[in-house]
Amino acid sequence: MSDAISSMLHESRVFEPSAHFLSNIGPLNVPDMGAYERMYRQSMDDPITFWGTIARAFRWYRPFTEVLDWNCPDARWFADGTTNVCANCVDRQVDDGFGDDTAIIWEGEPCAPEPEIRRITYRDLQREVSRTANALKSMGVRRGDVVTIYMGMVPELTITMLACARIGAPHSVIFGGFAASAIVDRVSDAKSKVIVTCDGSWRRGQVVPLKQSVDEACERLPDVAHVLVVRRTNAPITMREGRDQWWHEVVTRQADDCPCEEMGAEDLLFLLYTSGSTGKPKGIRHTTGGYMVFTAFTAKTTFNLVPGRNHVYFCTADIGWITGHSYIVYGMLPNRVPTVMYEGAPNFPAEDRFWSMIARHRVTHFYTAPTAIRAFMKWGDEHPARHDLTSLLLLGTVGEPINPEAWMWYHDKIGLKRCPIVDTMWQTETGGHIITPLPGCTPTVPGSCTLPFFGIDAAIVNERGEPLAPNQGGLLVIRKPWPGMLRGIHGDRARYIETYWSKVPGMYVAGDGARRDERGYFWIMGRIDDVINVSGHRLGTMEVESALVSHPAVVEAAVVGMPHEIKGTGIAAFVTLAPSSTGSADASLRKQLAEHVTREIGAIARPDMIRFTAQLPKTRSGKIMRRLLRDIAAGKDLTQDTTTLEDFTVLAKLRESDE
Ligand code: WT7
């Protein structure tokens, strides 16, 4: 048992809602545990009334008459209703008289002499989104066409997403840290013909050459007809005649108004690609009505957002991941609480960047990942201590289990011992929070994501679907549909069923191992598939393996997770070399291979450890012994062999029986 897991098993500190929070947050959406239990029970016993009531508070063109049509594994929510997500995020606020309220506070990374700040009101957003929507239309984008977005964290990214939603063109955002080949895979899978990008993006004082990666990808994407380019860094780029256009030339000359398309609740809102256990990333499908209702309602409830009380919310995620989609953009704007968007790195120009931003913008809600918190701890307490963090009311974490040490540091040094921490468990597939404390309500325990959100019938079961006793580890499942759930994997129905619905028939299997303690609190123990969670980012071990074997020196590769102080899970690669390369199994080849993976996938996939082995340890039936490799990577089962090429075959024979 790892030290982290054993300390979580014995965690017993309980934190009740703080007086500071209760007296400053405004009215509580869920005032106490009695209310939580009543609402949870209602959401389980009568989900139709529960979700119907919440959904009716949004703007619909044609009101829905049926809340849910459930034919496992296919859910249709509010299906005969029509609406538009952009209208609910933007136009509605303007029409209700809040056009001059701040929707987005954006801060660029460069900050000499001062950081560049843009405050965007709902009215600004309405104008900019409409112009952008018209520009997309001028490029031939029609309802149903997928638009690919590969941008840095600039306001134009949010504007483009909303413009797509406005005209009914699903977007597919690709994280700007991914390499050209990731663009190729995703653009071809989505059959997307238009890409919106930036000349480059600022990251730690350097330019990330986004447009260059798009150009490289387009060499293999003959169907891409238009590339729209935001000028951000002034990095030298080439514009291809007939295909590439500048944002500042095309968008600015468009008309200021563009009607919202009337979309069916089950029309596709976006695709977001995420890693699974095979090499090919899957395009998770989220649709209009259910996703809108679920993200806005979870945001409002989990963060206890109250419009008009000077709340300022800052989520440090990149919009290229689901956290940014749901809790920088779609969940926030309908709640009319300003959302902070930051362009760059947390340690630029220094390790106190986030703390200076919290002080500068009087941030009340701060949402980040355990991996970031562990980095802050390492950077030192003096960084937060130098800044005024007294505006903070609530802290959140997401992405991976948080170790109690990091939780306590966050609580003490950032929350000044008086802010509740919401440890929100969810996934790209769930659209929004599924297990989370509610602030001012749920007593928290460091390391536990506590209790299920309303409407989420979460349970720990065995492979036959039978619920397990307290503290027994098993599969995390959800037994009822919920509005924000994925509607499938783009173009791959078989994989949708196989991945989520076949391990335990009739239940959604999240892919995580977990347990519930005596008080019913959930503790996530980690992925049970070949997915690893590196710095809160999901990566398929097979993707890294494919990248490695595409290098001429490599014949075979096995990738497993290993404990890592900052990243939570690091990447360990075991590599067998081609006979012609065995002589060069040295540090320089290691570096070459690591760089190769970075080029193929992106820096997040760069292995932390590469070991050369004469043979990969395999069972008699030829399966790679991953558990043995995980133990070796964790340093638990080291061989005595110190020659350059390690030989794990003897160990494999000893261990075969327990794999
Ligand atoms: C996987 C989903 C949801 C946004 C970020 C990641 C892990 C996520 C927690 C948490 C323990 C967590 C799970 C999950 N995870 N949040 N609070 N506690 N584990 O989204 O890339 O779809 O990854 O992240 O393993 O399955 P994602």
Using one digit for the tens of pLDDT, what is the confidence trace for 499-539? Answer: 999 999 999 999 999 999 999 999 999 899 889 999 989 99
What average pLDDT score do residues 530-549 get? 93
Phi, psi for 654 (deg, rounded to 5): -65, -35
Measured in angstroms, how far is the CA atom of residue 428 from the centroid of ligand 1? 8
Give yes or no for a contact between 83 and 292, defined as CB atoms under 8 angstroms apart. yes
Query: Is residue 316 pLDDT above 60, yes or no?
Result: yes
Radius of gyration of the chain (CA): 24
Residue 659: which pLDDT band, with cuts at 50, 70 and 90? low
Query: Is residue 647 pLDDT above 80, yes or no?
Result: no
What pLDDT, in 10s, does the model give residues 165-190?
999 999 999 999 999 999 999 999 99
Atom 18 of ligand 1, residue of closest alpha carbon: 401
Measured in angstroms, how far is the CA atom of residue 372 from the centroid of ligand 1? 14
Residues 6+ apart with CB under 8 A from 453: 298, 301, 302, 432, 433, 434, 435, 436
Query: Is residue 640 pLDDT above 80, yes or no?
Result: no
DSSP line for 573-600:
EEEEEPGGGGGG-SHHHHHHHHHHHHHH
Query: Is residue 4 pLDDT above 70, yes or no?
Result: no
What average pLDDT score do residues 336-351 get? 98
Question: Is 285 touching ligand 1 by the criterion CB < 6 Å?
Answer: no
Query: Is residue 410 pLDDT above 60, yes or no?
Result: yes
- Residue 587: exposure state from Cβ atoms within 10 A (0-12, 13-18, ≥19): exposed
Question: Is 295 touching ligand 1 by the criterion CB < 6 Å?
Answer: no
What pLDDT, in 10s, does the model give residues 107-166?
999 998 899 999 999 999 999 999 999 999 999 999 999 999 999 999 999 999 999 999
CA dihedral for 529, 531, 536, 537, sign (positive or negative): negative
401 preceded by cis ω (within 30°)?
A: no
Phi, psi for 316 (deg, rounded to 5): -90, 5
Question: Is 617 touching ligand 1 by the criterion CB < 6 Å?
Answer: no
**Which residue has tokens 């890693």?**
275
Check residue 654 and give its pLDDT: 64
Check residue 585 and give its pLDDT: 80
Give yes or no for a contact between 221 and 238, defined as CB atoms under 8 angstroms apart. no
- C-alpha–C-alpha distance, residues 282 and 498, integer Å: 13
Check residue 648 and give its pLDDT: 76
Measured in angstroms, how far is the CA atom of residue 436 from the centroid of ligand 1? 12
Question: Is 433 touching ligand 1 by the criterion CB < 6 Å?
Answer: no
Question: Is 511 touching ligand 1 by the criterion CB < 6 Å?
Answer: yes
Check residue 59 and give its pLDDT: 98
Check residue 5 and give its pLDDT: 56
Q: What is the mean pLDDT of the chain?
A: 94
Nearest to 279 by CA among 571, 542, 531, 544: 542
Query: Is residue 92 pLDDT above 50, yes or no?
Result: yes
Query: Is residue 388 pLDDT above 60, yes or no?
Result: yes
307-324 as b/e, with b when 16 or more CB fall inside 10 Å?
A: beeebbbbbbbbbbbbbb
pTM strictly above 0.85: yes
Give yes or no for a contact between 289 and 85, defined as CB atoms under 8 angstroms apart. no
What average pLDDT score do residues 218-229 get? 98
Measured in angstroms, how far is the CA atom of residue 137 from the centroid of ligand 1? 36
Nearest to 425 by CA among 533, 506, 531: 533
Longest dimension (CA), the chain: 73
- C-alpha–C-alpha distance, residues 29 and 453, integer Å: 13
Residue 11: which pLDDT band, with cuts at 50, 70 and 90? confident
Residue 637: which pLDDT band, with cuts at 50, 70 and 90? low
- C-alpha–C-alpha distance, residues 210 and 470, integer Å: 49
Phi, psi for 334 (deg, rounded to 5): -65, -20
Check residue 577 and give its pLDDT: 93
- C-alpha–C-alpha distance, residues 591 and 342, integer Å: 32
What pLDDT, in 10s, does the model give residues 227-261?
999 999 999 999 999 999 999 999 999 999 999 99
Which H helix or E strand runs over 397?
strand 394-398
Three-state DSSP class for residue 625: coil
CA dihedral for 326, 327, 329, 330, sign (positive or negative): positive
Q: Could you say which DSSP state residue 259 is in? A: P
The region, left, alpha or beta by phi > 0 then psi within -120 to 50, assigned to residue 338 is: beta
Check residue 1 and give its pLDDT: 43
- C-alpha–C-alpha distance, residues 401 and 9, integer Å: 13
User: pLDDT > 90: what percent of the chain?
Assistant: 88
- C-alpha–C-alpha distance, residues 31 and 438, integer Å: 9
Which H helix or E strand runs over 360?
helix 353-361
The region, left, alpha or beta by phi > 0 then psi within -120 to 50, assigned to residue 436 is: beta
Nearest to 544 by CA among 500, 484, 603, 497: 603
Residue 592: which pLDDT band, with cuts at 50, 70 and 90? very high
- Residue 56: exposure state from Cβ atoms within 10 A (0-12, 13-18, ≥19): middle
Give yes or no for a contact between 166 and 130, defined as CB atoms under 8 angstroms apart. yes
Check residue 656 and give its pLDDT: 59
Atom 23 of ligand 1, residue of closest alpha carbon: 427
Question: Is 427 touching ligand 1 by the criterion CB < 6 Å?
Answer: yes
Atom 10 of ligand 1, residue of closest alpha carbon: 425
Query: Is residue 643 pLDDT above 50, yes or no?
Result: no
